[in-house]
């Protein structure tokens, strides 16, 4: 079954929606601000390894984090800072991870976007694309076996990730078991330097839903309102027994693959198209248009986000960093089975 | 009334399902059909909803049980053949093996791998992959040779808070049997076993080749040569102490295993003995592996491609002449 939600009437917007929309925008703003800070710290040589930001994808990501509830499962991908914050990840996590604080979630054992709190429902991604789909689905299957109902699992992937075998196996397995999985594909037009034309040959990625026998939706990834509505609908469908849901968002990666990538290969024409608009700008315009906020309030929110990020950065920069002296080099939970005879 | 290696594997799973509600079995054809080798025969009937058929999706099978482990379950995955675990390699070595290291949260999964060769099975239904998985930090690799160990180690594997690669040898499934199942020992992992005491030479081995080594030792005993056979039981962790103690008594070492030679279990045992027990050796340590070729289909080629009793005897005699 293939659905595309109809454009809702603006006068139909409800007051509860306004509150949700404003809250989501603030998370988007905080995500953009902290990622700009991380990028600056990288340029200043303060961060080891790559820095991957979600510029242009905040609306899609925040919709996932907003529409999930505490107790649900979320496995974010690399451009999901906004969704992480909205789902409850502390702002300190990203700074601690990138700056190598010893209190970072992975304690220096893993970095950048591979962080999570599995027991609180945030599963940490591995770099191999598509691999988290079956993990989230397996978590949902376990809950089903334990008699836990009413929870949903969501995970993100990009256009490139849809080409992997793991994507296919994971989604097919979730469909076979009719698990409450929401898979959000953000088609940001490029997988590193590879454009859609070299990634897939189907007319639209949402067509894949038919092949798996699941429900699928398209949405404009630059439009926060649509993202909240479509992802919200998909999450509710999954929660109420509708099985796996495929949501395909269209937008543009407004940055390189990582900070070390100048993205000179990107087609400049794309930036002039509707999909190339910046979701933060569009959201601000919408807020002003609806009279939900005045210009000066937007300025205040931006300043608040900046102040919050600066305070958190300073706190983390004062924290002790990871040290080999604190490391037990123990890969096993079962310490008696350690093999150290090398 | 006797019980085979294969029945012991089934009984261990039945006991785990009975004793622990967090245990379930996931794999291809494991439910009503009872598995390609019948290792889960009737378990779906006895434990409704806890023995589940999977699609042919090895990657998703292992990914899914990692998710289930996060949610507090203790899953068992059956690979139909160890060879197909290559399709799940990423989830095994990157997702499962690294999970505790990255998150400090246990990942208690057991991956059963019907391993090793049988006549006529060919290159894709015969592999012994213990050396491959032992390479990766975060995994326990078990290689039982006996009915008792198949039962005891499998129960221990399910109870262990880490991912366990359980290499059960297909050649042994119906060929070794005992009168009755042992009382559980429960802590055999990482402890090698002296399968036969001797004073002239130590054979370190595991899994099916333990039986080849024992037959070779029996034959050699007729000419007065006393072979000590050490059964590693788990190749990771590897019981270096028991190996060194044995070599302290015999002064000579032959490692025998069915996996390929380059960088494998045999190479690891020899490396450890060379670095920690060089002074104990009276002759160069030797190894006998399968030949460095994809596993042949024809039964005669297959027999000639893996360590045999005759090859072991020949190699032992050579070492003793050194």
What are the extents of the domains in chain A? Answer: 10-337
Q: Report the chain B residue with the minimal C-alpha distance to residue A147.
A: B49
Common-topology check for domains B3-178 and B193-320 = yes
For residue A5, what pLDDT is reported? 54
Query: Which superfamily is assigned to B3-178 in CATH?
Result: Thiamin diphosphate (ThDP)-binding fold, Pyr/PP domains (3.40.50.970)
The residue length of chain A stands at: 342
Per-residue pLDDT band for A327 (boundaries 50, 70, 90) equals very high
Please indicate whether, in this complex, the C-beta atoms of A176 and B55 are within 8 angstroms of each other.
Answer: yes
> A with B: how many residue pairs have Cβ under 8 Å apart?
146
User: Chain B neighbours among A 194-233 (CB < 8 Å)?
Assistant: none
Q: Report the chain B residue with the minimal C-alpha distance to residue A75.
A: B67
Q: Helix crossing, A295-318 with A91-99: angle to 10°?
A: 40
- CATH 3.60.15.10 assigned to domain B193-320? The reply is no
For residue B183, what pLDDT is reported? 81
For residue B185, what pLDDT is reported? 75
Question: What letter does residue B295 receive in the DSSP assignment?
Answer: P
Q: Higher confidence at residue A7 or residue A245?
A: A245
C-alpha to C-alpha distance for A10 and A261, rounded to whole angstroms? 39
Q: Reply yes or no on whether the pLDDT at A12 is more than 60.
A: no
Given CB atoms, is B91 within the 8 Å cutoff of chain A? yes
C-alpha to C-alpha distance for A335 and B21, rounded to whole angstroms? 25
Q: Reply yes or no on whether the pLDDT at A110 is more than 80.
A: yes
C-alpha to C-alpha distance for A154 and A68, rounded to whole angstroms? 8
CB within 8 Å of A314: residues ≥ 6 apart: none
Task: Sort strands B227-231 and B193-196 into parallel, antiparallel or unpaired.
Answer: antiparallel
A126 contacts in chain B (CB < 8 Å)? 94-95, 98
* 3-class DSSP string for chain A: CECCCCCCCHHHCCHHHHHHHHHHHHHHHHHHHHHHHHHHHHHCCCCCCCCCCCCCCHHHHHHHHHHCCCCCEEECCCCCHHHHHHHCCCHHHHHHHHHCECCCCCCCCCCCCCCCEHHHCECCCCCCCCHHHHHHHHHHHHHHHCCCCCCCEEEEEECHHHHCHHHHHHHHHHHHCCCCEEEEEEECCEECCEEHHHCCCCCCHHHHHHHHCCEEEEEECCCHHHHHHHHHHHHHHHHCCCCCEEEEEECCCCCCCCCCCCCCCCCHHHHHCHHHCCHHHHHHHHHHHCCCCCHHHHHHHHHHHHHHHHHHHHHHHHCCECCHHHCCCCCCCCHHHCCCCC
Per the prediction, chain A carries an average pLDDT of 95
Domain layout of chain B by residue ranges: 3-178, 193-320
Please indicate whether, in this complex, the C-beta atoms of B94 and A128 are within 8 angstroms of each other.
Answer: yes
For residue B1, what pLDDT is reported? 74
Active-site residue, from B125, B135, B279, B298: B125
pTM recorded for the entire structure: 0.96
Per-residue pLDDT band for A3 (boundaries 50, 70, 90) equals low
Q: Report the run of H or E that residue B201 belongs to, with start and end.
A: strand B201-205
Chain segment A35-83, per-residue pLDDT in tens: 999 999 999 999 999 999 999 999 999 999 999 999 999 999 999 999 9
C-alpha to C-alpha distance for B169 and A258, rounded to whole angstroms? 46
The C-alpha of A213 sits at a distance from chain B's nearest C-alpha, in angstroms, of 15
Please indicate whether, in this complex, the C-beta atoms of A138 and B237 are within 8 angstroms of each other.
Answer: no
C-alpha to C-alpha distance for B299 and B305, rounded to whole angstroms? 10
Per the prediction, chain B carries an average pLDDT of 97
C-alpha to C-alpha distance for B113 and A323, rounded to whole angstroms? 38
**Among this protein's residues, is B125 annotated catalytic?**
yes
Closest CA to B270 of B258, B287, B283, B257: B287
Q: What does the pLDDT average to over B29-55?
A: 98
The answer to whether A37 touches A309, Cβ cutoff 8 Å, is yes
Query: Which superfamily is assigned to A10-337 in CATH?
Result: Thiamin diphosphate (ThDP)-binding fold, Pyr/PP domains (3.40.50.970)
Q: Higher confidence at residue A235 or residue B118?
A: A235
Q: Reply yes or no on whether the pLDDT at B153 is more than 80.
A: yes
Closest CA to B40 of B10, B6, B61, B16: B10
What ipTM was reported for this prediction? 0.96
Helix (H, G, I), strand (E, B) or coil at B83: helix
Q: Reply yes or no on whether the pLDDT at A325 is more than 70.
A: yes
Q: Is the peptide bond before B237 cis (omega within 30 degrees of 0)?
A: yes
For residue A13, what pLDDT is reported? 66
Given CB atoms, is A135 within the 8 Å cutoff of chain B? yes
Chain segment B112-147, per-residue pLDDT in tens: 999 998 899 999 999 999 999 999 999 999 999 999
Per-residue pLDDT band for A1 (boundaries 50, 70, 90) equals very low
Chain segment B156-200, per-residue pLDDT in tens: 999 999 999 999 999 999 999 999 988 877 789 999 999 999 999
**DSSP symbols for B7-61:** HHHHHHHHHHHHH-TTEEEEETT-STT--TTSTTTTHHHHSTTSEEE--S-HHHH
Chain segment B290-308, per-residue pLDDT in tens: 999 999 999 999 999 999 9
Q: Report the run of H or E that residue B164 belongs to, with start and end.
A: strand B164-169
Q: Higher confidence at residue A342 or residue B94?
A: B94
The C-alpha of B164 sits at a distance from chain A's nearest C-alpha, in angstroms, of 11
Please indicate whether, in this complex, the C-beta atoms of B50 and A110 are within 8 angstroms of each other.
Answer: no
Please indicate whether, in this complex, the C-beta atoms of B54 and A173 are within 8 angstroms of each other.
Answer: yes
Q: Reply yes or no on whether the pLDDT at A4 is more than 70.
A: no
């Amino acid at each position: 079954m293939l659905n595309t939600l109809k454009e809702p009437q603006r006068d139909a917007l409800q007051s509860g929606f306004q509150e949700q929309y404003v809250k989501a925008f603030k998370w988007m703003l905080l995500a953009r601000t902290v990622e700009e800070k991380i990028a600056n710290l990288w340029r200043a040589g303060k961060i080891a390894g790559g820095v991957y930001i979600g510029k242009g994808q905040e609306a899609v990501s925040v919709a996932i984090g907003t529409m999930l509830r505490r107790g649900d499962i979320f496995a974010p991908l690399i451009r999901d800072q906004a969704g992480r914050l909205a789902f409850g990840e502390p702002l300190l996590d990203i700074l601690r991870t990138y700056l190598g604080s010893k209190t970072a979630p992975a304690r220096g054992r893993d970095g950048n976007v591979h962080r999570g709190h599995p027991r609180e429902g945030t599963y940490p991604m591995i770099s191999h694309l598509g691999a988290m789909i079956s993990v989230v689905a397996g978590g949902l299957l376990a809950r089903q076996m334990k008699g836990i109902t009413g929870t949903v699992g969501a995970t993100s992937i990009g256009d490139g990730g849809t080409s992997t075998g793991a994507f296919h196996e994971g989604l097919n397995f979730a469909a076979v078991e009719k698990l409450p999985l929401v898979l959000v594909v953000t088609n940001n037009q490029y997988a590193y330097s590879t454009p859609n034309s070299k990634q897939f040959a189907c007319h639209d990625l949402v067509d894949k839903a038919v092949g798996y026998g699941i429900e699928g939706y398209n949405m404009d990834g630059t439009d926060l309102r649509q993202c909240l509505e479509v992802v919200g609908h998909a999450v509710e469908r999954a929660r109420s027994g509708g099985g796996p849901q495929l949501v395909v968002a269209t937008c543009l990666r407004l940055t390189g693959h990582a900070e070390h990538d100048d993205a000179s290969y990107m087609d400049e024409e794309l930036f002039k198209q509707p999909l190339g608009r910046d979701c933060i700008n569009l959201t601000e315009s919408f807020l002003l248009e609806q009279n939900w906020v005045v210009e000066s309030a937007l300025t205040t929110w931006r300043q608040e986000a900046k102040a919050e990020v600066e305070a958190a950065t300073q706190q983390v920069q004062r924290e002790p960093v990871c040290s080999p002296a604190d490391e037990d080099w123990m890969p096993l939970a079962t310490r008696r089975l350690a093999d150290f005879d090398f | 009334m006797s019980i085979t290696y294969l029945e012991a594997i089934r009984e261990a799973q039945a006991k785990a399902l009975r004793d622990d509600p967090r245990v379930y079995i996931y794999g291809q054809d494991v439910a009503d059909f009872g598995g390609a080798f019948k290792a889960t025969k009737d378990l779906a009937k006895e434990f409704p909803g806890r023995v589940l058929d999977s699609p042919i999706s090895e990657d998703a099978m292992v990914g899914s049980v990692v998710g289930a482990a996060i949610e507090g379950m203790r899953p068992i995955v059956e690979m139909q053949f160890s060879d197909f675990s290559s399709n799940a390699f990423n989830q095994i070595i990157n997702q499962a093996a690294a999970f505790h290291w990255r998150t400090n949260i246990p990942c208690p999964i057991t991956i059963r791998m019907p391993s090793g060769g049988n006549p006529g099975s060919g290159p894709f239904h015969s592999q012994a992959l213990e050396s491959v998985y032992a390479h990766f930090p975060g995994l326990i690799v078990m290689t039982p040779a006996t009915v008792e160990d198949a039962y005891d180690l499998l129960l221990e594997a399910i109870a262990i808070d880490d991912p366990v690669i359980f290499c059960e040898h297909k050649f042994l499934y119906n060929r070794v049997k005992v009168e009755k199942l042992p009382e559980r020992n429960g802590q055999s992992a990482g402890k090698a076993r002296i399968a036969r005491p001797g004073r002239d030479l130590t054979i370190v081995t595991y899994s099916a080749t333990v039986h080849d080594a024992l037959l070779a030792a029996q034959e050699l005993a007729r000419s007065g040569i006393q072979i000590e056979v050490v059964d590693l039981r788990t190749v990771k962790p590897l019981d270096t102490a028991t190996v060194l103690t044995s070599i302290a008594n015999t002064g000579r070492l032959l490692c025998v295993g069915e996996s390929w030679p380059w960088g494998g279990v045999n190479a690891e045992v020899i490396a450890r003995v060379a670095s920690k027990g060089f002074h104990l050796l009276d002759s160069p340590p030797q190894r006998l592996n399968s030949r460095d070729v994809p596993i042949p289909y024809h039964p005669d080629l297959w027999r000639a491609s893996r360590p045999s009793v005759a090859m072991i005897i020949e190699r032992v005699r050579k070492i003793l002449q050194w």
